[in-house]
Amino acid sequence: MVEWLNPFSSEGQDTVREKGDLDNVFTRNNDLINIVAHSDHQNLSDDTLIPDSYGNLALKRIQWYIERKNNKDFKISDFAYLLNEEIAEADVISFHLLCQAIAIKFNLKSRESRLFIESQGKLIEDRLMKMMPQNRKEIVDKVLSQLILDDNFSWLYLKDLIASKKLSLEDLVIDNGEIIINREDFVAKFGDEFKDRAPDRMYDIIIGENIKELLLTSLIMQNTEDYIEKIKEMSSKVEIHPAISELGEKIATTITEISRKYSNYYGRIGEESLKIGNLQREAFPPCMAKTVEGVTSGGRNDAIVLMLTSFVSYARLFPGIFISGQEVKVSDIDPNLTITLNEILPIIYEAADNCSPPLFEDQPQERLNIISKLGFGMNTYPKLENEGETKWYTPMSCEKIKMHLPQLCRPDKLCKNVVNPLFYYSRRKWEMEREGKLKETQTDDTSDN
């Protein structure tokens, strides 16, 4: 039962040792099928809804989270087995398989790693919600005692959680650097402070079960991230089992396919649709047009690396980013990086060359920074295997440009109605389309999206 919430518990580790045979990751597992089929309210109308192996269960966990997050018509009954305690053993095995596959296939800061870590947190929340209050309280106390081994639980222990914003200091009660979680400690420390109210009652109001559950979920998420990092470090020294590599490939395909289902890379401003399309230089706002011609005054590096790189890449690949709010990576839209290599980078390099002095002449390392801002880490060229090492930097707002690169902002009439150069570009492109001035040229490798 504990392993259902804490896959790192000794119970969970024993299960993985005894039953987590890597040769059977995709072997049909009748016990698992039986548990799924007998889970309360499980939808059995379609065989594809039923995971038939530990590997498939791992993929279903990921699918569940993306669907739950994006699908307006999400049906809990399609995944009811994930909230059935009887699946605990299979679940903990699939969790550890996911950790390994994600560690060897993706970067720690990649969308895939984040999705998995978030999914683990959400799964714990949903499982807790389904429990009876007394049970819930007991198991939370038990799991927390496994996670917090030190009696003097200093807030410094949580510094990574706080730094990563998984937890806020404001959520905690801290006394002399020590975090107070238990009722007894709270009453002993602060009992005398409450004259008109029972300290017990105040504990329920100030701390209560919510904080403990939040702490539990955050600690498991942090431990998952640390565990993936550890596997990643070790993976260069050991031979990877083919089943783990296969699972890694399947995770990549699953996430890409489901994300595409909820992402057509379109957004709307009023009646305008913002589509992927060939880059139209004539639609660039004054700040970007000026940058492409070359920056001669100060701010040259920021103008090319920060401002132009993000603008050109999103204008070409995903102009609807701010409207859709989706998290995407370049290869979701440009799977072979053909557009990135043939259209996006050339215009950035052209602008860099037009600067005075040419950017790469005295600062060749800025090539790496440009690739990094596209999400491919500090590398000379964008390669799929490096994607996710850094984030795809989103375009700077007009406000930021005016503040940091005021010499490049020369607003025209259309600028009055925009807060980001990307909106200017989409608006102007739409106008050009209506005026029949849009050019249909260059590479277009997005047909399979």
Question: Annotated binding site, which residues?
Answer: 287, 398, 409, 415
Rounded CA gap, 274 and 283, in Å? Answer: 13
422 interacts with ligand SF4 by CB under 6 A:
no
As annotated, the binding site for [4Fe-4S] cluster includes 287, 398, 409, 415
Residue from 58, 104, 287, 317 touching ligand SF4 (CB under 6 A): that is 287
For residues 199 and 411, which CB has a smaller minimum distance to ligand SF4 in the complex?
Answer: 411
Residue 183 C-beta: closest distance to ligand SF4, Å? 56
Residue 289 C-beta: closest distance to ligand SF4, Å? 9
Contact stretch for ligand SF4 (CB under 6 A) within 25-33, 269-277, 356-364, 418-426 = 418-426
Residue 275 C-beta: closest distance to ligand SF4, Å? 20
Amino acid (1-letter code) at residue 309: T
312 interacts with ligand SF4 by CB under 6 A:
no
Residue from 277, 316, 421, 428 touching ligand SF4 (CB under 6 A): that is 421
For residues 286 and 299, which CB has a smaller minimum distance to ligand SF4 in the complex?
Answer: 286
> 371-410 mask for ligand SF4 (x: CB under 6 A)?
---------------------------x--x-------xx
Residue from 157, 252, 411, 445 touching ligand SF4 (CB under 6 A): that is 411
Residue from 76, 181, 202, 415 touching ligand SF4 (CB under 6 A): that is 415
Residue 311 C-beta: closest distance to ligand SF4, Å? 9
Residue 404 C-beta: closest distance to ligand SF4, Å? 10
For residues 215 and 398, which CB has a smaller minimum distance to ligand SF4 in the complex?
Answer: 398
418 interacts with ligand SF4 by CB under 6 A:
yes
For residues 44 and 419, which CB has a smaller minimum distance to ligand SF4 in the complex?
Answer: 419
285 interacts with ligand SF4 by CB under 6 A:
yes
For residues 231 and 396, which CB has a smaller minimum distance to ligand SF4 in the complex?
Answer: 396
User: If binding means CB under 6 A, how many residues of this protein chain bind ligand SF4?
Assistant: 12
Interface with ligand SF4 (CB under 6 A): 285-287, 398, 401, 409-411, 415, 418, 421, 424
